Amino acid sequence: MMSEKRVTFATKLGVIATAVGSAVGLGNIWRFPYETGQHGGAAFLLIYIGCILLLGIPVVLAEFIIGRGSHSNVSGAFRKLSPGTGWHYISYLGITAAVLIMSFYSVIAGWTMEYTYQALIDSFGSHTPEEFQQDFTAFTSSPLRPIFWTFLFLGINYVIINRGVQNGIEKYSNVMMPLLFLLLLVFCVRSITLPGAGAGLSYLFDPDFSKIDSSVVLGAMGQAFFSLSLGMGTLITYSSYFSSRTKLVRSATTIAAFDTLVAVLAGIIIFPAVFTFGISPSQGPELVFITLPHVFQQMPGAYIWSVLFFILLFLASLTSTISMCEISVAFFTEERKMSRKKASLLHISACAVLGVLCSLSFGVLSEATLFGRTVFGWCDFLSSNILLPLGGMLISIYVGWVLDKKVIRKEMTNNGELRTRLARILVFVLRYIAPTAIILIFLGGLGVF
Ligand code: TRP
């Protein structure tokens, strides 16, 4: 088991689908709309796309170069590529972020399971907006029920992660992602023919630049890193399983394009409905859960649509959390020689403890705040807006300044097979542009200037 040969992904579709499976999840469908709503709409979207292009894609490539260049877990990768240096400490940052993110993520994934259940027993019926809101609050603030779902979700992760890379992840990513995408397209059509669609679409696409301040920019950068699963080594770990023929640039741009498309589709579904049903766009984490059931109500065959949607959203969360587990599991099995079972148990237990606190943040612990944030709020803010960009900055400095240029050229050209000048441009961006931009956004967002 411990000395097992590293597997690689079986098919080309497998590579993209698995990375997309990691990228596409609650970040696109739950977090993106609510962050957009809290940060004023179109202006946020514009900066978000800027962050994807300028920071996201280059840092994805940097992670790919490290991962495939070393065929190793995060810590092993840095040890192999730069022996005797302290760069491998980045892996601790990654594991911390993975546990923090997975803790609050599992709570929301638990909500999607509750909603799947509610959809199955057909309880949405003819609810009014107020009733959806009341039901939501009653559910999320109750002490036990959401925790039950969180634990169930973590348990499912445990089972899957124990079955290994190939079987566990690859197979069903290939089917689910396209299905989720199709479903979103159908909902889009319904949403943009609602009476409030005009207002919703202009909220999403017609920027009001006066809304931009440094917290909007920090939020957009955090969301970009979160949505691409960037900055904590997920993509280092995943790309360590890439074959030598995988085209890195094409994979990175495909993943980023697809990920952004899904987020924008989610926005196109949510905001017209928000304006049609008189929901406030700045609701926060509940936005998707109180908005979407309305959209389904307006469709013939509402039952089927809502069941299908919540099942797929749950599965999309699962492919994302599995990628978070894989960071710790690869680290503990390869660096600490633990069994896969023990490693996943360790990761998941930590998430369970923190997950309980996150879940209670919507109920009995909602008053337990520090600087206005609950435990849930802190896990989210700290990981998305601080740790991920920080990790991304270190990774870009590493590839831009430290890593042997030969490795970069080798990985970018697939060992000389592809002809590309992009390696030079990439190094320039990673050296100068990405780290500077991340620092400036940090300092701005934390109120330094
Ligand atoms: N990108 C995923 C989403 O949008 C979440 C995710 C999975 C993630 N793995 C990650 C975020 C690693 C940051 C780092 O839902």
Tokens coding 106: 């599992």
For residue 58, the CA-to-ligand 1 centroid distance in Å is 17
Judge whether 418 and 247 are in contact, CB under 8 Å.
Answer: yes
Whether ligand 1 lies within 6 angstroms of the CB of 23 is answered as yes
Whether ligand 1 lies within 6 angstroms of the CB of 27 is answered as yes
What percentage of residues in the chain have a pLDDT greater than 70?
94
Q: For ligand 1, atom 12, which residue shows the shortest CA distance?
A: 229
For residue 105, the CA-to-ligand 1 centroid distance in Å is 9
pLDDT at 170: 62
Whether ligand 1 lies within 6 angstroms of the CB of 224 is answered as no
Pocket test for ligand 1, best of 229, 232, 318 (most atoms within 8 A of CB): 229
For residue 232, the CA-to-ligand 1 centroid distance in Å is 10
Pocket test for ligand 1, best of 320, 321, 385 (most atoms within 8 A of CB): 320
Whether ligand 1 lies within 6 angstroms of the CB of 26 is answered as yes
For residue 71, the CA-to-ligand 1 centroid distance in Å is 21
| Residue 237: pLDDT band with limits 50, 70, 90 | confident
Q: Which domains are assigned to the chain?
A: 2-445 (1.10.4160.10)
Measured CA to CA, the distance from residue 280 to residue 271 in angstroms comes to 10
| Residue 1: pLDDT band with limits 50, 70, 90 | very low
Judge whether 91 and 233 are in contact, CB under 8 Å.
Answer: yes
What is the atom index within ligand 1 of the atom nearest the CA of 320?
7
pLDDT digits (tens, 9 = 90+) for 271-293: 999 999 889 999 889 999 999 88
Judge whether 190 and 298 are in contact, CB under 8 Å.
Answer: yes
pLDDT exceeds 80 at position 163: no
For residue 196, the CA-to-ligand 1 centroid distance in Å is 31
| Residue 9: pLDDT band with limits 50, 70, 90 | low
| Residue 2: pLDDT band with limits 50, 70, 90 | very low
pLDDT at 372: 87
Q: For ligand 1, atom 10, which residue shows the shortest CA distance?
A: 229
pLDDT exceeds 90 at position 51: yes
| Residue 38: pLDDT band with limits 50, 70, 90 | very high
Q: For ligand 1, atom 9, which residue shows the shortest CA distance?
A: 229
For residue 134, the CA-to-ligand 1 centroid distance in Å is 29
Polymer length in residues for the chain: 449
Whether ligand 1 lies within 6 angstroms of the CB of 36 is answered as no
- Which of 113-117, 125-129, 204-208, 300-304 has the least mean pLDDT? 125-129
What is the atom index within ligand 1 of the atom nearest the CA of 30?
15
pLDDT exceeds 70 at position 3: no
Whether ligand 1 lies within 6 angstroms of the CB of 236 is answered as no
Whether ligand 1 lies within 6 angstroms of the CB of 102 is answered as no
Mean pLDDT in the chain? Answer: 90
Q: For ligand 1, atom 14, which residue shows the shortest CA distance?
A: 229
pLDDT at 113: 97
What is the atom index within ligand 1 of the atom nearest the CA of 97?
14
For residue 226, the CA-to-ligand 1 centroid distance in Å is 5
Q: For ligand 1, atom 6, which residue shows the shortest CA distance?
A: 229
| Mean pLDDT, rounded, for 413-438 | 92
Measured CA to CA, the distance from residue 378 to residue 390 in angstroms comes to 16
Whether ligand 1 lies within 6 angstroms of the CB of 383 is answered as no
pLDDT exceeds 70 at position 421: yes
Nearest to 352 by CA among 116, 84, 151: 151
Residue 417 CA neighbour count, 13 Å, CB half = 8
pLDDT digits (tens, 9 = 90+) for 90-108: 999 999 999 999 999 999 9
Tokens coding 379: 């896990």
Rg (CA), the chain: 21
Nearest to 251 by CA among 9, 76, 447: 9
pLDDT digits (tens, 9 = 90+) for 315-358: 889 889 988 988 888 889 888 999 989 999 999 999 999 999 99
For residue 399, the CA-to-ligand 1 centroid distance in Å is 22
pLDDT at 255: 94
**φ, ψ at 417 (rounded to 5°):** -75, -35
Which of 79-88's residues contact partners 24+ apart within 8 Å by CB, and which partners? 81/403, 81/404, 81/407, 82/398, 82/402, 82/403, 85/402, 87/394, 87/398, 87/402
pLDDT exceeds 70 at position 5: no
For residue 162, the CA-to-ligand 1 centroid distance in Å is 20
pLDDT at 416: 86
Measured CA to CA, the distance from residue 414 to residue 248 in angstroms comes to 8
Q: What is the pTM of this model?
A: 0.92
For residue 230, the CA-to-ligand 1 centroid distance in Å is 7
pLDDT at 13: 62
| Residue 267: pLDDT band with limits 50, 70, 90 | very high
Whether ligand 1 lies within 6 angstroms of the CB of 328 is answered as no
For residue 213, the CA-to-ligand 1 centroid distance in Å is 25
pLDDT exceeds 50 at position 4: no
- C-alpha dihedral (410, 332, 89, 431), degrees to nearest 10: 30
Q: For ligand 1, atom 13, which residue shows the shortest CA distance?
A: 229
